[in-house]
Amino acid sequence: GAVVSQHPSWVICKSGTSVKIECRSLDFQATTMFWYRQFPKQSLMLMATSNEGSKATYEQGVEKDKFLINHASLTLSTLTVTSAHPEDSSFYICSARGAPDRGYGDGNTIYFGEGSWLTVV
Amino acid sequence: LAKTTQPISMDSYEGQEVNITCSHNNIATNDYITWYQQFPSQGPRFIIQGYKTKVTNEVASLFIPADRKSSTLSLPRVSLSDTAVYYCLVGRLSGGYNKLIFGAGTRLAVHP
């Protein structure tokens, strides 16, 4: 079964509004979570790395004020797309670094959520 | 971070063995090699991970030569449901390195 869960699976929002996507590790505590973005027929693009209790590290070209990431607990990270525009419409995927002490990888494995489709109209 | 190169696409037929090779000439000493499978509108699913030689699990095998500059994912007896995009990732999540970058992936189409 899934070890990382995202919610919502899909969301439609109006241009100019903000939308939040949640990412939860279900069976282990994830000190590190990652957020990716994927356009149709393209590969995943890493947006930011989220470490529990500290500020996220954003990849070059990703606006940190637009894509707010919060990793307030060891099982939850959130991505908030602020003032969304149609060009922000995409498939957003989170992942969590596995926990060897819980039998999830050896520390070099990340497990992905189901993804969240965002459509901005 | 080591860059990976994979074939853009591959075709196979049900019941055949499929081997997808990934080149990673700049792999670092502590890097691991991980393969993921992705279906449309789903998050990638972990398939297999290795560091050197051969790794086998219930769904695939991973062959890594001694120089580690390439790796081959082997899928035995594929079925239609194996049609997906397969990604090879090289990296590590320790020692100050804290991210895994996806390459373009290989689109595998399995035909009846």
**pLDDT tens-digit map of A39-90:** 999 999 999 998 887 889 999 999 999 999 998 888 899 999 999 999 999 9
Cα–Cα distance measured from residue B105 to residue B36, given in angstroms and rounded to the nearest whole number: 9
Residues of B in contact with A117 (CB under 8 A): 41
Cα–Cα distance measured from residue A31 to residue A100, given in angstroms and rounded to the nearest whole number: 12
Cα–Cα distance measured from residue B112 to residue A113, given in angstroms and rounded to the nearest whole number: 30
The alpha carbon of residue B102 is apart from the nearest alpha carbon of chain A, in Å, by 6
What local confidence, expressed as pLDDT, does residue A2 receive? Answer: 66
The alpha carbon of residue B34 is apart from the nearest alpha carbon of chain A, in Å, by 8
Interchain contact, B93 vs A110, CB within 8 Å: yes
Q: Give the A:B interface size as CB pairs under 8 Å.
A: 61
The alpha carbon of residue B49 is apart from the nearest alpha carbon of chain A, in Å, by 8
What is chain A's mean pLDDT, rounded?
Answer: 90
Which is nearest to B48 in space by CA: B26, B80, B72, B23? B72
Distances (CA, A) of B54 to A55, B61, B84: 38, 7, 23
Who's near A1: CB < 8 A, 6+ residues apart? Answer: none
What local confidence, expressed as pLDDT, does residue A53 receive? Answer: 79
Which of B32, B43, B105 lies at the smallest CB-CB distance from A93? Answer: B43
pLDDT band at B2 (very low <50, low <70, confident <90, very high): low
Q: Which residue of A has its CA nearest to B39?
A: A114
- A81, containing H or E segment: strand A76-81
